[in-house]
Amino acid sequence: MNDTTSGLLTIAVLGLLLALLWAPFGDHMARVVTGTRHARLERGLYRLLGVDPEAQQSARSYATSVLAFSAVGIALLVAILMGQQHLPFSRGLPGMPWDMALNTAVSFVTNTNWQSYAGESTLGFTAQMAGLAVQNFLSAAVGICVAVALVRGFLASRSGTVGNFWVDLVRVTGRVLLPVAVVGAVLLLTQGVVQSFADQTITTVTGGSQVVPGGPVAGQEAIKQLGTNGGGFFNANSAHPFENPTPFSNLLQILMLLLVPVCLTRTFGTMIGSRRQGLTVLGAMAALFTASLAVAAWAETTGQGVAARAAGAAMEGKETQFGAWGSILYSTATTSTSTGAVNASHDSLTPAGGGAALVNMMLGEVSPGGVGSGLYGMLVMAVVTVFVAGLMVGRTPELLGKKIGRPEITWVALTTLITPAIVLIGVGVAIALPSTRDALGNTGVHGFSEVVYAFTSAANNNGSAFGGITVTSTFFQLALATAMLLGRFGSIVLVLALAGSLARQRPVPTTAGTLSTQTVLFGSLLVGVVLLVTGLTYLPSLALGPVAEALTNGALS
Amino acid sequence: MSNLTHVLTSTGRQAWVGARLLLVATLLLGIGYPAVIWAAGQVVPGHEASIGQDFPVADDDWFHGRPSANDDDGLASGPSNLGPSSPDLLDLIEQRRAAVAQVEGVDPGSVPADALTASASGLDRFISPEYAALQVDRVAQDRGLSVAEVERLVRAHTSGRQLGFLGQPRVDVLALNRALEGAD
């Protein structure tokens, strides 16, 4: 079997597994968020928390809960990271400096998992598992909660309520994320991912000495993928043999990071009573994903770029066992889902391959996007799409039985503007600072791409990096933390405002004049609108970065 | 003013609920969950994973591994992060090509890409079968073993695609060199 057959077969098997899981897992999630019965353990927990599980929250109250919960999460995580030397299994490591701790706490609570530290040389095991991994679960659950709240906004009839955040959070964590993470972790154990509580020092074959790091990796790895978090236990992330030891674990990780975002389209369809609508959204996501994968796979497997041509193949920053196909499928999946885990150096990808990774994030993480954030991001784009279509025919636009009036389009316009604004302002400020030049790992246009990638990744809550850039200065720690916070919670507040505004409306009946939103035509229009919004916003920065690098064959380096 | 007070109390109350939930989650997900996975690890049979070790091109006794951006330091995993047009990377590729060609006594054009490029982890213990084949004669000669014996060892440490289609064919240099040590 040649490499191309192997690569295409791997993609086909991944697609087949997702197709098989789509309906049962999507419907499971729908039952979890719509069910009226509480498990005994959950009832006990609600009593302990002082929460009435039958109470319904307005969108404003729901948003307050999200923000308050996340603020407490950041505070606890900063405390754990700065004081880790007092915790068990600290491996003798000191606490993090304040700016790195703040950046890291924001990073994990916003589901970004941007890492300005190297795991194996910076963190003890308790900080990793009781600090970071807990937020891997909770930040992912928050994303799903917000998406579900938006769907409820479409369903509500003048109630103005969008659900109960605490009930959603407990159920999504306990009934969706935890059970699947356990299964995933056990499968990863069979492939050799470690779950230990000690480092070892060994004598190498040549008689030298080498520290072999340990840690509770398998558990953290499973939720890192499932929750589209992406923060590696080790610096090399999923390129490390202890995080991702075999080609099978590589495929499993890609499956796990796509699972929830892909199946949430089914959850959405089931909740609104139109599975075809869910399929239409999934189709638009899949079209964007496939196009990006095709470009990147061409560039990587044919070894585009001067360095790859000099070496004979694009193998710089790639593991032998994954090769070009296993690396590019991973990089496309991780940047399309706001995961940000990596099994190859994105900085060393070919110009078009790295550019595709960048564009996946610039799309706003909607192909299929992060857990929850992908669905609400795509629904926001669907509102823009019906608005554009409504302008063309001169009708008040409607989506899923709700009128898209002035308040709705205001929230949507702000949502589509906030992330690009953070990215472009952030890049502008960083490039204007003389100190940024010394922080770059590469010169010329590729160095510029490192800065664009950093702010795009942070604001879109992806977390992967063109890792050559050094981001440990207080400027970058705070600037990127701000980008992550505003990108995440700015969007969430606006999306919940939209949900509230929809929930206060009475549904309008479907008439012959209503634009059908479950057709291939609408799906295509949706793809077009996503590309248009992204293109108009980011084309100049892309032209100065990866496009220039690809077209000049590195002559501008 | 009363509205503001109400908002603040409400936020404070929500934060207090959140704090309690966070503590429960830290116990269950942060300690209980990894403990359960650790227990599962004691009974679930798993592949033996190991990290790569340094077998530099300068050392004739061994099959050489791929270049590592961190000299196979177990506490500093990571790639070079040199870009696809990086002049530094181009220099490194040419230096490595010349060094490998000289050590193996082969044409510089025949050195495979994995011998010229650093891995993503810096701890890659695999090389391509092509790079292993390039090294057989030298290792056999240096160790006083027959070429057939060394080829047999290489074959024994070569893996095909997992499940017949996943990943790349590869040679485990670490295990191969360990076996070589035993064969002397």
Report the 10 Å Cβ neighbour count for A89.
Answer: 17
pLDDT digits (tens, 9 = 90+) for A92-124: 999 999 999 999 999 999 999 999 999 999 999
The whole-angstrom separation of Cα A384 and Cα A530 is 9
Structure token digits, residue B153: 């060892």
pLDDT digits (tens, 9 = 90+) for A42-59: 999 999 999 999 999 999
Phi, psi of A195 (to 5 degrees): -145, 85
pLDDT digits (tens, 9 = 90+) for B18-47: 999 999 999 999 999 999 999 999 999 888
The whole-angstrom separation of Cα A320 and Cα A268 is 40
Bigger pLDDT: B45 vs B124? B124
pLDDT, residue A26, reads: 98
- Closest to A210 (Cβ–Cβ): which among B74, B93, B120? B74
Length of chain A: 557
pLDDT digits (tens, 9 = 90+) for B37-92: 999 999 998 888 899 999 999 888 999 999 999 999 999 999 999 999 999 999 99
Phi, psi of B166 (to 5 degrees): -95, 130
- Give Cβ neighbours of residue B126 (< 8 Å, ≥ 6 apart): A319, A320, A321, B52, B66, B170, B171, B172, B173
pLDDT, residue B8, reads: 62
Residue of A nearest to B116 (CA): A311
Structure token digits, residue A239: 């390129």
pLDDT, residue B4, reads: 58
Write out chain A residues lying below 8 Å of B139, CB-based: none
- Closest to A189 (Cβ–Cβ): which among B19, B44, B177? B44
**Interfacial B residues in 53-82 facing A (CB < 8 Å):** 53-55, 59, 62, 66, 72-82
Query: What residues form DSSP beta bridges with A212?
Result: A200
Instruction: For residue A373, give the nearest of A382, A384, A363, A365 by alpha carbon.
Output: A365
Say yes or no for a CB contact (<8 Å) between B120 and A76: no
* ipTM rounded to 2 decimals: 0.95
The secondary element (H helix, E strand) that includes residue A491 is helix A491-503
* Average pLDDT score, chain A: 96
- Closest to A319 (Cβ–Cβ): which among B48, B86, B120? B120
pLDDT, residue B2, reads: 53
Largest CA distance in chain B: 91
The secondary element (H helix, E strand) that includes residue A213 is none
| CA A163 from centroid of its chain's CA atoms | 24
The whole-angstrom separation of Cα A99 and Cα A336 is 29
pLDDT digits (tens, 9 = 90+) for A280-328: 999 999 999 999 999 999 999 999 999 999 999 999 999 999 999 999 9
pLDDT, residue B5, reads: 63
Q: Is residue A338 left, alpha or beta, with left meaning phi > 0 and alpha meaning psi from -120 to 50?
A: left
pLDDT, residue B1, reads: 43
Shortest distance between the Cα of B108 and any Cα of chain A, in A, equals 11
pLDDT exceeds 60 at position A330? yes
Share of chain B above pLDDT 70, in %: 95
Instruction: For residue A388, give the nearest of A222, A228, A531, A526 by alpha carbon.
Output: A526
- Closest to B15 (Cβ–Cβ): which among A5, A71, A234? A71
Pairing type for strands A402-403 and A209-212 reads unpaired
| CA B28 from centroid of its chain's CA atoms | 32
- Please tell me what DSSP assigns to residue A239: G
Q: Mean per-residue pLDDT for A237-243? A: 98
Angle of CA points A159, A163, A166, to nearest 5°: 150
Structure token digits, residue A293: 């994968």
Write out chain B residues lying below 8 Å of A245, CB-based: 47, 49
Q: Where are the alpha helices (H) located in A320-365, listed in sequence order?
A: 323-336, 351-362
**A439 near A454, Cβ under 8 Å?**
no
Would you list the DSSP string of A36-88?
Answer: ----HHHHHHHHHHT--TT--EEHHHHHHHHHHHHHHHHHHHHHHHHTGGGST
Lowest mean pLDDT among A319-323, A394-398, A400-404, A468-472: A394-398
pLDDT exceeds 50 at position B151? yes
pLDDT, residue A555, reads: 72
| Predicted TM-score of the model (pTM) | 0.97
- Give Cβ neighbours of residue A37 (< 8 Å, ≥ 6 apart): none
The whole-angstrom separation of Cα A297 and Cα A292 is 8
Which of A176, A319, A330 to mutate: most B Cβ within 10 Å?
A319
pLDDT digits (tens, 9 = 90+) for B157-167: 999 999 999 99
The whole-angstrom separation of Cα B19 and Cα A69 is 7
Phi, psi of B108 (to 5 degrees): -55, -30
In the block, which residue shows the tokens 């050094």? A470
pLDDT exceeds 90 at position A171? yes
Write out chain B residues lying below 8 Å of A304, CB-based: 84
pLDDT, residue A57, reads: 96
The secondary element (H helix, E strand) that includes residue B130 is helix B129-143
